[in-house]
Amino acid sequence: MKNSKWFVLLLSGLCASPLLAWPQLNNEGYIDGESIKFDPRSGDYIVTYYGDSGNGERLVTLVYETPNKIKPAVKMQIRSTMGRDIAYAYDVSNDRGAKQDIYAFGFSVRSPWWEKPELVTHATAVGQVNAGNLLGAAQAIETRVTYAGSIEAARMKQSSQWLPEVSFAKTNRAFRFNWQAHPNKQPLDDIKPGQHRAGFGLRLPYLPGLVTFGFDGNSKPFGFPGAAGGDSKIWKDIDKLMFGSTAPAPSVKSLGPTVLIPEPFVAQSLATGIRDDLATWVAAGQLSEPLAQRLRSGLDAIGNAAELNNSAGVLGNAEQVFYALFSRHPGMRYEHCENDDEPDKSKADHPELSRLAARAIAFNTFELTKRYFVQQLARR
């Protein structure tokens, strides 16, 4: 929601007005009459809190329009570049049935490239990384990473009408990539119902894995006139409402950068990274554990064969991995992994393996195999 930062400042500045005497809180921790109620007809919330309505009433009632009346979809492409990076391109749309414009979207990844000195350009962070102090590096990057001086400044792509942002959470060492319609570029280029926007992207030395896109609808500004503040639990409830935990916006599963491509390239190391990432697909219910075990064995075999420079073993085990994937999605081939195709909507995903998971694992296995053979040719 575009007014969330303003809301934080407003709420933090709330204080008791000397003209308002706080009533006693009831047993539930509220002032009698305070509430948040959902209106199923409009999809909005009716918020009532203690304050000064301006007409002598001590309970103020407002309508909060949640920023979740959107119907987003994401189509994406993944491409291997001539170098180490993988190029990600996203096309975001908003269905005609939506009631709001899409104002912002993004996803989080736990891809700690600040652990790799060659990927970090933040001067203080580089020193901390080289000293082996990863916590110091995380603190140096700070909670909010400004776009102009960030380590991702040359890695995010968008039109001039959209503003990129990278935020960093110290608690779980996750980065969030976010794009929002540029508030200073009018008319606002938010994605209206029935429209789509292309040209969003990333270039990073990471193979794809599962990510979840979150979205913000462009709802009306919302303030709290005459708010008295105090210790009522209503403010915690309003906080949950404003920041999405009460009325979350739709989300979309897609692919984003999760598996680091090592530099210098070591096939066994990359095979291990792809192998370890399978746990994410299992946890999401998009890959069965028995099939994951089979794929882990195949990836381990590829890595072990690569260590022995056994090219036939690398190729043979890669073919076994591809067979395990494609046999569960008849007609699917490697070339389908780079682009979002349009599968038959009447066909359900295979119970052992979603099409999205198959796409990512196949792309990653192909990249592992290709980069191994490129390395072998370079050594001759």
pLDDT digits (tens, 9 = 90+) for 138-164: 666 543 344 344 444 457 888 889 988
Does the pTM surpass 0.85? The reply is no
The mean predicted confidence, pLDDT, of the chain is: 83
What is the number of other CB atoms lying within 10 angstroms of the CB of residue 115? Answer: 15
Question: Does position 196 have pLDDT exceeding 60, yes or no?
Answer: yes
The yes-or-no verdict on residue 10 having pLDDT over 50 is: no
Structure confidence at residue 21 (pLDDT)? 60
Note whether 278 and 295 are within 8 A (CB).
yes
Q: What is the pLDDT of residues 13-61, one digit of tens each?
A: 444 444 456 788 999 999 999 999 999 888 889 999 998 777 778 889 9
- Residue 344: predicted pLDDT: 53
For the segment 310-331, the average pLDDT, to the nearest whole number, is 95
**pLDDT at residue 133 above 80?**
no
pLDDT of residue 229: 65
The pLDDT of residue 332: 84
For 309, list phi and psi in degrees, rounded to 5: 55, 35
Provide the 3-class DSSP secondary structure of residue 29.
Answer: coil
Q: Which residue has the higher pLDDT, 14 or 171?
A: 171
Span of 86-90, 132-136, 270-274 with lowest mean pLDDT: 132-136
Question: What's the confidence (pLDDT) of residue 112?
Answer: 52
What is residue 46's predicted lDDT score, i.e. its pLDDT? 94
Q: Does 73 score more than 60 pLDDT?
A: yes
Judge whether residue 362 has pLDDT over 80.
Answer: yes
Q: What is the pLDDT of residue 228?
A: 67
Confidence of residue 337 (pLDDT cuts 50, 70, 90): confident
Maximum Cα interatomic distance, the chain, rounded to a whole number of Å: 87
Residue 148 pLDDT? 43
> What are the contacts of 32-41 at 24+ separation with CB within 8 A?
33/59, 34/59, 34/232, 34/234, 35/234, 36/234, 36/237, 36/238, 36/241, 36/246, 38/247, 39/63
Cis omega (within 30 of 0) for bond into 67: no
Given a cut of 80, whether residue 301 has pLDDT beyond it is yes
pLDDT, tens digit, 9 for 90 and up, residues 237-277: 988 887 766 778 889 999 999 998 988 899 999 999 999 99
Give the helix/strand (H/E) hosting 45: strand 44-50
Give the pLDDT of residue 143.
36
pLDDT for 368 beyond 60: yes
Choice among 84-98, 227-241, 251-265 with the minimum mean pLDDT: 227-241
- Residues 307-316: what's their mean pLDDT? 97
Query: What are 16's two structure tokens?
Result: 């008791």
**pLDDT at 1 (0 to 100):** 52
Quote the distance between the C-alpha of residue 52 and its chain's center: 40
Q: Give the per-residue pLDDT at 341.
A: 62
Confidence (pLDDT) at 275: 98
- Give kind and range of the element (H or E) at residue 250: none
Q: Collapsing DSSP states into helix, strand and coil, what is residue 237?
A: helix
Q: How confident is the model at residue 4 (pLDDT cuts 50, 70, 90)?
A: very low
User: How confident is the model over 94-120, as a mean pLDDT?
Assistant: 76
3 state DSSP class of 35: strand
- The answer, yes or no, to whether residue 116 has pLDDT greater than 70, is no
